[in-house]
A = this chain, B = another copy of it.
Amino acid sequence: MENEGSYVALGLKVWKTQIGRADKLFGSLSSEEVLREIAPGRNRLLYLWGHLTATHDAMLPLLGLGERLHPELDAAFISTPDKSKADIPSHDQVRRAWNVVNAELWKGFEKMSWSDWLARHTAVSEEDFAKDASRNRFAILLSRTNHLSYHLGQAVLGLK
């Protein structure tokens, strides 16, 4: 049991580190800077930020931690590419949603026991989970952390 806690603690530590980097990177941007493209013709920083926020929001039901807080973000940041809509959530809306969603996730993580992480996530049926037990909550944590790192690598290109 002691060892199991170690693995989970490490997964959470890496998540927290990447969230901290994203907080610092996106949090430092002015409302003008957030509209910068990461490279000519590519996604804007605000789009990446909103995309990450929507993805993290969807982790709440996926990990059984509660209802989504900001499902409205998907229309602008998941189902459509950047610059396909004239009207997307504002800098302020994304910043607030980012902070609220990540705080809610962390609150949920802290309540989860070590073995909770090995339980199935809600997008897999009990039947499918019986065939492949790797489709669990810890897998979601690791893959979403890597998703965050992937887009952080891109966002940093838009900084200067």
* Per-residue B-contact encoding for A146-160, CB less than 8 Å = 1, 0 else: 110111111001000
Among A6, A139, A147, chain B packs the most CB atoms within 10 A around the CB of: A6
List, in ascending order, chain B residues with CB within 8 A of A118's CB.
3, 6-7
CA distance A13 to B132 in the complex (A): 13
A103-123 near B? 1/0 per residue, CB < 8 Å: 000000000001101100000
> What's the nearest-Cβ distance from chain B to residue A47, in Å?
14
Tell me the nearest residue of chain B to A118, going by C-beta. B6
Known pairs A7-B7, A134-B13, A139-B10; A157 contacts B40 (CB<8 A): no
Report the minimum CB–CB distance from A102 to chain B (whole Å): 17
Is A88 interfacial (CB-CB < 8 Å)?
no
Inter-chain contact A142/B4, CB cutoff 8 Å:
no
Closest to A13 in B: B134
The yes or no answer to A130 lying at the interface (CB within 8 A) is no
CB of A42, distance to nearest CB on chain B (Å) = 6
Complex CA–CA separation, A35 to B142 (angstroms):
32
Asked if A142 contacts B14 (CB within 8 A), the reply is yes
How distant is the Cα of A10 from the Cα of B135 in the complex, in angstroms?
Answer: 9
Q: Is A39 an interface residue (CB 8 A)?
A: yes
What mask results when residues 1 to 15 of chain A are scored 1 for a CB within 8 Å of chain B, else 0? Answer: 001101111110110
Q: Which residues of B contact A134 (CB under 8 A)?
A: 6, 9-10, 13
Report which of B13, B14, B138, B147 forms a contact with A7, defined as CB distance below 8 A: B138
